[in-house]
Structure 1
Amino acid sequence: MRTGIHYANFSHPEWRTRLTDRLAETARIADDGGVSLFTVMDHYFQMEQLGGPAEPMLEGYTTLGYLAGRTERVRLSLLVTGATYRHPGLLAKIVTTLDVLSRGRAMLGLGAAWYDREHAGLGVPFPRTAERFERLEETLRICLQMWSDDDGAFEGRHHRLAETVCVPPPVQRPHPPILVGGGGERKTLRLVAQYADACNLFPVGVDGVRHKLEVLRRHCDDVGRDYESIEKTMLAPADGPDPVADADAFLAAMEQYAALGISLVMLMPPTPDPAGWAADLCERVVPRLAEV
């Protein structure tokens, strides 16, 4: 099993003066220490459960571009981009730019979006749920067309593009991997089966993850997709064993998820010192988790 770090919280001590250095140091340690994926969130405002809009939040793709210049090996992504945040053609261009400048380390993480307060706060339209999922599917189709040999028009219900030109193309072929986040059984996991290279599941327990993967397998059967071709990733349970403080218990828990097919687990730095935590993680946990 591989390790990812999800840097979701910027509200560490002295963040007004140390935010940039602390983020860069954490990413550098992850890059040197064998972490496979480094992600930040794609939000305008910090989420309510992490303090809300009064707390710091960076724009996601600007952050990844900065980190691309500070790292050499680790894959970079947002976990995840909401379909409402950017026009799909522009999104494909942004991710392509990240892939080119990082020399082939970009991943496109996508979801339907959910945080209505930040949309209202900055005046961004926030459609009803059904429309957000329609837009998510069109975004997936547009990105795939932008990354193909077809540079013609796209005509959808919500998006119309006269030309899907993308020059230079991504470094990764046929395109940067696409991850769809979430575990919605009727729509989200169907979109994974139809379009994505990876899924990211919420921590709903071993039985819950097993059930979600069974649903995904059925969707794959329905659309004629090879279930094994999809990478299965998940966020680590917040109430589970601390990977640094209790590595043995954490690794034992991860063995259960690995047996279900989960190949990468995303961990969030839980301390005021994310760089120190990442160093401990890379030394004590990453090599052992790779053996699970």
Structure 2
Amino acid sequence: MDLRIFTEPQQGASYDTLLSVAKATEDLGFDAFFRSDHYLQMGGADGLPGPTDAWLTLAGLARETSRIRLGTLMTAATFRLPGVLAIQVAQVDAMSGGRVEFGLGAGWFAAEHTAYGIPFPREKFPRLQEQLEIITGLWGTPEGETFSFDGEYYRIEDSPALPKPVQSRVPVLVGGMGKERTPRLAARYADEFNIPFASAEDSAAQFDRVRRAAEEAGRKPDDLVYSNALVACVGRDDAEVARRAAVIGRDVDELRRNGLAGSPAEVVDKIGRFAEIGASRIYLQILDLDDLAHLELIAGQVKPQLS
């Protein structure tokens, strides 16, 4: 089971804070550092010092780290034009020496769009589908050839389709709980399918839908990586768990039901339930980015039991 660190910087984090977490992620042996792509805090936090841009952040971290994979859960298709996004991701891939993974979602948080003057279209899912076709098409066009696309929402004409990522294929992540269109989209474009904040039972049903869609698309279901994102709140004892839950404003019992909360042994046991349904990767949502001791505990007492 791969363990990856997943952050939510819109809740309040500077680049320097993210850098310290990314370096700890690398030093402690985790597989990857991922971040959300949001411009507005959610819930009761004040959001200070303000948002950081996902791909600007990853560009900086690409030069400050050497091993960990870097990516987004998920880049919002509403934030960037697909041609520009293809260039940005390819450039960060080059800056990292080929360590980027690309999660793309439809975008959903209307308030952040109005807060920063970003259009929030009604037809988000078909735009997502066109963006995936364009971005993967640009990357997959052989050098010296051009790429064109005439869709309902985007038009590309004779693009040189440059630059290319360093990797021969940047891993593409698609996710969500949509029962019909989402599995088909994953079957067509994704290397990894991710489910955020769902139970093992609900995840199992969605993974099965994706496997069936992959077969219908002529792919082997096991060609895809299946993963979950879950909030982490681990402590050596109940008091430490309660302290960490209080800092992030969450109830311990709720976290035990819906996330990975409790002692290292409890967390390992729950991760095992996700492994049983076919998940091979867990994104640990870390909400208190100043608590690097939390990462040390997970690295020292959870991660070794999952090797």
TM-score by length of 1: 0.89
Distance in structure 2 (CA, Å) of the matches to 1:23 and 1:67: 9
Residue 293 (structure 2) pairs with residue 276 (structure 1): yes
Cα deviation, residue 9, structure 1: 4.1
Structure number with higher relative contact order (C-alpha < 8 Å, ≥ 6 residues apart): 1
Task: Describe the SS at the equivalent of 1:162.
Answer: strand
Q: Residues 83 and 139 of structure 1 are in contact (CA less than 8 Å); yes or no, is this contact kept in structure 2? A: yes
Residue 12 (structure 2) pairs with residue 6 (structure 1): no
Deviations 1:236-274 (A, max 9, x none): 256238868511111111111111110111112243633
Residue 235 (structure 2) pairs with residue 218 (structure 1): no
Q: Which runs of 5+ in 2 are unaligned?
A: 233-254
Residue 62 (structure 2) pairs with residue 68 (structure 1): yes
Q: 2:128 aligns with which of 129, 133, 136?
A: 136
Q: Give the equivalent residue in structure 2 for 1:260.
A: 277
Quickly say closer, same or farther: Cα 1:126–1:169, change in 2 above 3 A.
same
Q: Give the equivalent residue in structure 2 for 1:101.
A: 95
Task: Describe the SS at the equivalent of 1:262.
Answer: coil
Cα deviation, residue 218, structure 1: 1.7
Q: 1:21 aligns with which of 7, 16, 19?
A: 16
Task: Describe the SS at the equivalent of 2:152.
Answer: coil
Residue 110 (structure 2) pairs with residue 116 (structure 1): yes
Alignment of 1:21-40 (within 5 A): 21-40=16-35
Distance in structure 1 (CA, Å) of the matches to 2:295 and 2:129: 35
The number of residues matched between the two structures is 281
Q: CA RMSD in A?
A: 2.1
Residue 68 (structure 2) pairs with residue 51 (structure 1): no
Alignment of 1:131-280 (within 5 A): 131-148=123-140, 149=142, 150-173=145-168, 175-236=169-230, 239-240=255-256, 246-271=263-288, 273-280=290-297
Distance in structure 2 (CA, Å) of the matches to 1:136 and 1:52: 30
Cα deviation, residue 224, structure 1: 1.5
Q: Residues 140 and 195 of structure 1 are in contact (CA less than 8 Å); yes or no, is this contact kept in structure 2? A: yes
Task: Describe the SS at the equivalent of 2:3.
Answer: strand
TM-score by length of 2: 0.85
Q: Give the equivalent residue in structure 2 for 1:81.
A: 75
Give the percent of matched residue pairs that are identical in Structure 1 and Structure 2: 31
Q: Please, which moves more after superposition, 217-226 or 102-111?
A: 217-226
Q: Residues 230 and 260 of structure 2 are in contact (CA less than 8 Å); yes or no, is this contact kept in structure 1? A: no
Distance in structure 2 (CA, Å) of the matches to 1:68 and 1:185: 35
Q: Residues 11 and 46 of structure 2 are in contact (CA less than 8 Å); yes or no, is this contact kept in structure 1? A: no
Distance in structure 2 (CA, Å) of the matches to 1:122 and 1:214: 38
